[in-house]
């Protein structure tokens, strides 16, 4: 069971769009690119070659399946860390459920969920 500590105050970060890319702005005024912005700069050549090789229909099916699985894993982890885990709900989607849940266990302290990752290093120092 996770203990959600409320002693750590995590400020809300503002976002700004610069040249159609999202940046997070810290209270000090520093700007950090979103993960989507960072990944958008990577070459998509290998992905495009794969799509051409397997065909658009197959590529779209694989991409949708992977996105759906990623969403389910996200929800499962969130439920687990929020102490709201229903094994029957998640077991049908994941054969290695125990393996995944073991990886989520750390100290049992949960400063926040769905917060900006940039601040996690600072938060963990305070814990």
What does the domain layout of the chain look like in residue ranges?
3-126
Q: Do 10 and 114 contact (CB within 8 A), yes or no?
A: no
41-78 tens-digit pLDDT: 888 899 999 999 999 999 999 999 999 988 988 888 88
Q: Check residue 1 and give its pLDDT.
A: 72
Q: pTM, whole model, 2 decimals?
A: 0.59
CA distance 127 to 109: 8
CA distance 51 to 84: 39
Q: Is residue 121 very low, low, confident or very high in pLDDT (cuts 50, 70, 90)?
A: very low
């Amino acid at each position: 069971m996770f203990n959600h500590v409320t002693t750590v105050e995590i400020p809300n970060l503002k976002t700004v769009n610069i040249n159609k890319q999202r940046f997070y702005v810290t209270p000090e005024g520093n700007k950090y690119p979103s993960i989507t912005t960072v990944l958008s700069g990577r070459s998509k050549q290998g992905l495009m070659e794969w799509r051409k090789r397997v065909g658009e229909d197959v590529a779209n099916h694989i991409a949708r399946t992977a996105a759906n699985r990623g969403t389910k894993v996200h929800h499962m982890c969130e439920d687990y860390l929020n102490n709201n885990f229903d094994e029957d709900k998640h077991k049908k989607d994941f054969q290695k459920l125990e393996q995944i849940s073991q990886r989520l266990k750390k100290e049992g302290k949960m400063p926040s969920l769905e917060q900006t990752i940039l601040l996690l290093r600072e938060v963990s120092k305070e814990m």
